[in-house]
Amino acid sequence: MASERTELAPAELLRLLRAELQKRPDDVPKGWKTAEQWAKDWDVTPNAAGIVLSRSVRIGLIETKKFRIQTANRGNHPTPHYRPTNEIQIKSQP
């Protein structure tokens, strides 16, 4: 006997898809960092890093994208990440 296919209502399907997506963190590509990671690299406060990053995004030197990452108290949560654009060349100091 063939199995009967049951279809979900659109709202129920959407709820299940969102729940499944929230369980999975994104793979953050190399070069993308959170404001807190930039703050640590720059040895400044997260607030100071956020100010520099937001102004740099506004003028096109930094680009931003949200990636879902595991957070300590919120589970997997969309978090802004930043990376330099091609407009600015980052050179390592000797």
CATH of the domain at 54: 1.10.10
Enclosing H/E stretch for 80: strand 75-84
Domain membership flag for residue 18? no
E strand intervals along 11-73: 62-71
* Number of domains the chain is built from: 1
Domain membership flag for residue 91? no
Domain membership flag for residue 14? no
What domain range is 60 assigned to?
32-86
Please report where in the chains the tokens 């990376």 appear, as a residue: 83
Domain membership flag for residue 60? yes
* Per-residue pLDDT reduced to its tens digit, 41-80: 999 999 999 999 999 999 999 999 999 888 777 677 889 9
pLDDT surpasses 90 at 87: no
Strand partners, 68: 78
| Both tokens assigned to 11 | 């709202």
Domain membership flag for residue 67? yes
The predicted structure's pLDDT at residue 63: 95
Say what the pTM is: 0.69
- HSE-CB at 3 with a 13 A cutoff on CA atoms is 3
Please report where in the chains the tokens 């009967």 appear, as a residue: 4
* Per-residue pLDDT reduced to its tens digit, 51-62: 999 999 999 999
> Rounded to an integer, what distance in angstroms lies between the CA atom of residue 91 and that of residue 46?
23
The predicted structure's pLDDT at residue 46: 95
Domain membership flag for residue 51? yes
| Both tokens assigned to 8 | 């979900």
